[in-house]
Amino acid sequence: MSAEPTRWLSAGELESWLPVGGLLLRLPAALDAQMQRDSGLSHFEYLVLANLSEAPRRTRRMSELAALANGSLSRLSHVVKRLEGRGWVERTTCPQDGRYTNAVLTEAGWAKVRQSAPGHVAAVRALVLDALSDDDLARLGDMARRIMSRIAADDPGQVAGPGGRA
């Protein structure tokens, strides 16, 4: 069985792809640096806390939280353990199904989210939103959803949703 020939990028595709590749590396690093500097959190830790803050009763199943924060359950477990140590999250058995574990945002965790959110939102605005028109932003959101759908189709463990909040 012969492999199909490689479909090399055209000059136009390469011209568009290279900045996207740079964005994929530099934007997460910039958001992480802002979080570390202003709040002492990694961007992933913030996403975990923020996703819990938006959940009913500030509680989510660990598996759901991992998908929303775009992380593996293993990575989430390590992060939640750190957040528990800081008093911001507690783990409890899911009352509807004891096979699952819930993560619950504590009052101290809620205070940390409220303290951290303004700086994060300012960074998202300065780095992304203010550089785009409303139409650009709508197109970017659409493009991101289509790409996330393809990623989810290739990896059944992924969720094709928004992947967290700003």
Question: What is the per-residue DSSP string for 113-128?
Answer: HHHHHHHHHHHHHHHT
Q: Kindly report, residue by residue over 117-156, the tens digit of the pLDDT.
A: 999 999 999 999 999 999 999 999 999 999 989 988 876 5
Domain definitions of the chain by residue range? 36-154
Task: Could you please state the CATH topology (level 3) that the domain comprising 36-154 is classified under.
Answer: Arc Repressor Mutant, subunit A (1.10.10)
How does the average pLDDT of the chain come out, rounded?
91
Residues 6+ apart with CB under 8 A from 145: 160
Cβ atoms of 66 and 75 closer than 8 Å: yes
> Rounded distance, CA 150 to CA 144, Å?
10
The model's pTM: 0.82
